[in-house]
Amino acid sequence: MIQIARIKFFLFFNLFILVSFLSFSQQKKNEIRENYHFTYFGINYSPIIPSNIIQKNDVTIVRDSITMSINQKPGFVFGMEVKHDFTRFFALQTGLNFIRRTYNVDVKDKDTSHTASLKFIGYEIPLLGLGFVRVAEHFYANVSAGFCFNFFPSDIAVSKFYGQRYRWTQIAIMANVGIEYRNENYGNFYVGVMYQHQERSMMTVFYFREYVYGKSNAYIGLSGNYLSLNLKYYFPQNPQKEKKKKRYGDN
């Protein structure tokens, strides 16, 4: 599965490079904003969509008389973003996000069964390169790729189960595709689909028959990968010429 994910990301990354190259080649001289820099501040809300399309997030293991299953449930990502447009067709983006992943865990152990809802919280700092292609007067198709730094503040424990993080920080690959509507007076609106892929497991969930300590009776590793609907709004900003900035600096 990891090899397939790497191949998919390689193809997506090459698509990103191709789109970026084509977008730059489409620019007219009067459209190249070499003397302008736009910096946008925005908000981001991304509902996590339970999915097994790209990688299997629903896992079941059988160990002796124990059947343990974990299923991904809806979660969300929320945060603030900063996007700097170097031209009309290329930008860099970063920010700080809060994320909550939700899973249901079910265990059938001999004549008993146990169910719990596990909610893992974390924080993200994405760093993405964005390429745009103009498809209408105010609409731009967007594709982006880059890295995301994930931070997991703590483990989690509920009755019969214990979730232990693999490490407190982890780097993931992030890719995005969508449509952006730009309006100088009202700001920019964005709708897209985002996928995050982690090479290593985010966390291991242990099952205990008696108390949550000692040797576990069964366990499953969680990848932390997710697919989400990406909704963004960037506040309107006024362009500033580099020449004006230099004049202000001289004064």
Q: What does the DSSP assignment read for 81-133? A: EEEEESSSSEEEEEEEEEEEEEEEEEEEETTEEEEEEEEEEEEEEEEEEEEEE
Q: Report, in angstroms and rounded to the nearest whole number, the Rg of the chain calculated over CA atoms.
A: 22
**Cβ contact 188:84 at 8 Å:** no
Q: Tens digits of per-residue pLDDT, 53-101?
A: 777 778 888 888 889 999 999 999 999 999 998 887 889 999 999 999 9
Cα separation, 112 vs 2, whole angstroms: 35
Of the pLDDT bands very low, low, confident and very high (cuts 50, 70, 90), residue 22 is very low
Return the pLDDT at 34: 47
Cα separation, 221 vs 70, whole angstroms: 9
The conformation of residue 251, written as its DSSP 8-state character, comes to -
Return the pLDDT at 139: 94
> Does the structure show a pLDDT above 50 at 239?
yes
174-183: average pLDDT: 94
194-217: average pLDDT: 83
Residues 6+ apart with CB under 8 A from 217: 63, 66, 109, 207, 208, 209
Return the pLDDT at 8: 52
Cα separation, 50 vs 72, whole angstroms: 5
Return the pLDDT at 131: 92
Calculate the average pLDDT of the chain: 82
Of the pLDDT bands very low, low, confident and very high (cuts 50, 70, 90), residue 248 is very low
- What element of type H or E holds 21? helix 2-25
> Does the structure show a pLDDT above 80 at 242?
no
211-236: average pLDDT: 86
Cα separation, 167 vs 152, whole angstroms: 8
Cα separation, 26 vs 37, whole angstroms: 19
Domains of the chain by range and CATH? 2-24+40-241 (2.40.160.20)
What are the phi and psi torsion angles at 245 (to 5°)? -60, -40
CA nearest neighbour of 180 among 68, 57, 38: 38
229-237: average pLDDT: 92
Cα separation, 191 vs 125, whole angstroms: 20
Place of tokens 């990891």: 2
Higher pLDDT, 2 or 210: 210
Higher pLDDT, 178 or 29: 178
CA nearest neighbour of 133 among 34, 32, 26, 230: 26
CA nearest neighbour of 170 among 110, 125, 140, 132: 125
Return the pLDDT at 32: 45
Of the pLDDT bands very low, low, confident and very high (cuts 50, 70, 90), residue 16 is low
Higher pLDDT, 52 or 238: 52
**Cβ contact 50:70 at 8 Å:** no
What pTM does this model have?
Answer: 0.77
- What element of type H or E holds 246? helix 242-250
Joined together, the tokens standing for residue 103 give 């899973």
Higher pLDDT, 18 or 178: 178
